[in-house]
Structure 1
Amino acid sequence: MSLVFVQIRCTPGKTYDVANEIWDREVVSELYSTSGDFDLLAKVYIPEGQDVGHFLASKLFDIAGIQQTLTTMTFKAF
């Protein structure tokens, strides 16, 4: 499995709706509300052999209310 972190900027007033939809899809292992440029931070494990972009686009990025995302790939845990 690969681990990625996804920061999500939501349409104003839609953060809780987006967060609930993300959580209901059971795609993320952890989901946080954050301050700063993005509203949410998701920890996502990508199944072995899956393309990261395709997985995220089909499982997460089609949620209404998401304006922008920033995905950070991880390589090694210390």
Structure 2
Amino acid sequence: MKTFFVQIKCEIGKTYEVSDSLLSMNLASEIYSTAGRFDIMAKFHVDNDIDIGLFVNDFLLNLKNVKDSETIIAFKAFL
């Protein structure tokens, strides 16, 4: 299983709409509103055979009002 985070910059005033779209897709394990350069951070888990780049491109192309994104790949969780 691979874990990664996607930070999403939304069109002005569209953060809640993008968040609702994320929730309805039921792909992210966690979704947070954030302050700073990005408006939303979402956490994903995919099987090892899934290409993260393709997943993010296919996933983001289906979301309206997304202006920009940045993907962060996680290697190890320290619990």
Structure 1 length as normaliser, TM-score?
0.93
The residue aligned with 1:22 is 22
Percent of aligned positions with the same letter in both sequences? 38
Equivalent pairs counted in the alignment come to 77
The residue aligned with 1:2 is 2
Where does 1:16-55 land on structure 2 (aligned, <5 Å)? 16-55=16-55
Structure 2 length as normaliser, TM-score?
0.92
1:48 is displaced (CA, Å) by 2.4
The residue aligned with 2:60 is 61
Structure 2 spans left out of the alignment, 5+ residues = none
Letter in 2 for 1:61: L
Provide the C-alpha distance between the structure 1 equivalents of 2:77 and 2:18, rounded to a whole number of angstroms. Answer: 29
Provide the C-alpha distance between the structure 1 equivalents of 2:20 and 2:45, rounded to a whole number of angstroms. Answer: 19
Provide the C-alpha distance between the structure 1 equivalents of 2:75 and 2:57, rounded to a whole number of angstroms. Answer: 21
Note the alpha carbon deviations across 1:29-59, whole angstroms, 9 max, x for none. Answer: 000001111000100112220100111211x
1:22 is displaced (CA, Å) by 0.7
Provide the C-alpha distance between the structure 2 equivalents of 1:25 and 1:47, rounded to a whole number of angstroms. Answer: 17
Q: After the TM superposition, which segments of 4 or more aligned residues of structure 1 sit over 6 Å from their partners?
A: none
Q: Alignment RMSD, CA only?
A: 0.8
